Amino acid sequence: MFKKTALAAALGAAALVGASQAQAADYVVDTEGQHAFVQFKINHLGFSYILGNFESFEGQFHYDPENLEAASVEMEVDVTSLNSNHAERDRHFLSDDFLSAGDFPTATFVSTGFAPTGEGEGTLTGELTLKGETREIEMPVTLMGEGEDPWGAYRAGFEGSTMLTLGDFGIDMSAFPEVMHELELYVTFEGIRQ
């Protein structure tokens, strides 16, 4: 009985501590530990998928568990850091046939709103600028977890994905099969609370 009480008290204290840790704050995407990934997935002629990363990017977000609608995210991606593990293919993607990365080396995302849709889930709306074209996109996002890490920082981590229509961003896929006209953008990252 005493043990149960002690255990309950300990759990209660931990919960209180946990609760007091969650607060409105600014976070920086953890690119130093690289607990952050920006990936794309695109169909290859109907045979398989090509997967690739953008290896170099940075971002920050504002997250308040008590006021989710005020959440905001900003990301800046170095398009030239594209890596699909094939040098000639990466050159082709970066060329004027697709991304024109020489002229547009940076892609950005700036959120304009967030609408919660459930427990730890919501839809992020924002402006994606790619190849010089800015379009509003929506991305369903999941909060995967938040809390203190073993090394003294507080983290919040997310994942989200959305389909992009490449033609919207001036990337002409008309010579390719219909299945290749859209690309899936997948992101997962942890932010370290500042």
Partner 1 sequence: MWRNTRSGWGIVSILLHWLSAVTIVGLFALGWWMTGLGYFDAWYNLAPWWHRSIGLLLLFATLARLVWRFANPTPAGQGSRLEQLAAHLGHVLLYVLLLVVMVSGYLISTARGRGISVFDWFEVPALISGLPNQESIAGEIHWYAAVALMVLAGGHALAALKHHVIDRHDTLTRMLSPSRSRRG
Which residues sit at the interface with partner 1, rule CB under 8 A? 80-81, 83, 85-88, 90-91, 94, 101-102, 175-176
SS3 185: strand
As measured in angstroms, the least distance from the Cβ of 184 to partner 1 is 21
As measured in angstroms, the least distance from the Cβ of 66 to partner 1 is 42
**Nearer Cβ to partner 1, position 23 or 85?**
85
**Nearer Cβ to partner 1, position 2 or 47?**
47
Taking CA 190 as the corner, what is the angle to CA 53 and CA 12, rounded to the nearest 5 degrees? Answer: 155
Q: Compute the distance between CA of residue 186 and CA of residue 87 in angstroms, rounded to an integer.
A: 22
**Nearer Cβ to partner 1, position 31 or 80?**
80
Q: Compute the distance between CA of residue 9 and CA of residue 17 in angstroms, rounded to an integer.
A: 12
Closest by CA position to 22, among listed 155, 189, 191: 155
As measured in angstroms, the least distance from the Cβ of 134 to partner 1 is 24
**Nearer Cβ to partner 1, position 86 or 135?**
86
Token pair 């920050």 is found at: 60
